[in-house]
Amino acid sequence: GITVGAVCVYPTRVTDAVNALKAAGCNIPVASVAAGFPSGQTPLETKLAEIKLAVEYGAREIDIVISRSLVLTGQWEGLYEEIRRCREACGEAHMKTILATGELGSLANVYKASMIAMMAGSDFIKTSTGKEVENATFPVGVVMMRAIREFYWQTGNKVGFKPAGGIRTAKEAITWLMLVKEELGVEWLTPELFRLGASSLLEDIEKQIFYHVTGSYALEHDLAMA
């Protein structure tokens, strides 16, 4: 009964992922990284076209990545407009906005970018693409969660949180769960409001489940997927 919250692929593989999941008889949503992932260094028109194509192919969730230059040069209105138009292009699909926090320069910028992303309609805010030198860290996570809490107090809207990049062990994942519970509350501990970027976690999660079931640690050939 253990499943992931979504299967995330590049836009060109959305159709393949949708068909594979349908053939397997499961309803796990397909998410797609769009909008110039991971650098964000493509024209806005290209980002919007990529988002629309991914949705057309069957993606039910879209992970966009912001233009870091808008944050670093203080173009906050421009950042809002970019995210708003991406949200519009997503249509019915849920949108996660990746802030690439390791490249924003300061925690103050992380907080401002978080607030603007939520104001522009993001369903989730996400720490990182996983491709930056610095990805999900606990200080950044606390700042983003406190922005989510403030936004909820001000508007009544609950926005999801997703740390991603560099989370490699089950113990780290549990620490993130604890942090979310303490900062945002138990109601955020659902797939609708909390996700973990888990691609690097697979091997350790498999190891821990194997140990729980068998009482011994797995050998390398026991975990083919990892």
80-113 pLDDT tens trace: 999 999 999 999 999 999 999 999 999 999 999 9
Domains of the chain with bracketed CATH: 7-199 (3.20.20.70)
Q: What is the pLDDT of residue 19?
A: 96
pLDDT in tens, 27-36: 999 999 998 8
Tell me the three-class secondary structure of 8-62, residue by residue. Answer: EECHHHHHHHHHHHHHCCCCCCEEEECCCCCCCCCCHHHHHHHHHHHHHHCCCEE
Whether 1 has a pLDDT exceeding 80, the answer reads no
Residues catalogued as catalytic: 126, 162
pLDDT of residue 226: 53
Model confidence at 167: pLDDT above 90: no
- What pLDDT, on the 0 to 100 scale, is given for residue 200? 72
Give CA–CA dist 215/223, Å, rounded: 15
Q: For the whole model, what pTM was predicted?
A: 0.90
Q: What is the pLDDT of residue 111?
A: 98
Give the C-alpha separation, 211 to 216, whole Å. 5
CA–CA distance, 162 with 164 (Å, rounded to integer)? 6
